[in-house]
Amino acid sequence: MDAAKDLEATFLSEMLKAAKFGEAREGLGGGGIGEEQFSSFLRQTQAEEMVKAGGIGLAQTLFEALKERADGTV
């Protein structure tokens, strides 16, 4: 289950990246190069917190599919 949750967090992090979450805002002075370099950490942490709060159900779906496959029922 931990691996499934990690995969869901990675997926959510990529979705946040596509939504431009954590990127420097134009016209506000920004945080410079440091802000750009650490935005990936912000996205990953936010994604992990989303998974802890229940996520989108992807981890549970993956876990059940892997469990069925391991049991030979698929």
pLDDT value of residue 31: 63
Mean pLDDT value across the chain: 86
| Residue 12 neighbours by CB under 8 Å, 6+ apart | 46, 47, 50, 51, 55, 56
Q: What is the pLDDT of residues 36-63, one digit of tens each?
A: 778 889 999 999 999 999 999 999 999 9
pTM exceeding 0.85: no
Q: What is the pLDDT of residues 4-40, one digit of tens each?
A: 999 999 999 999 999 988 776 665 556 667 777 788 8
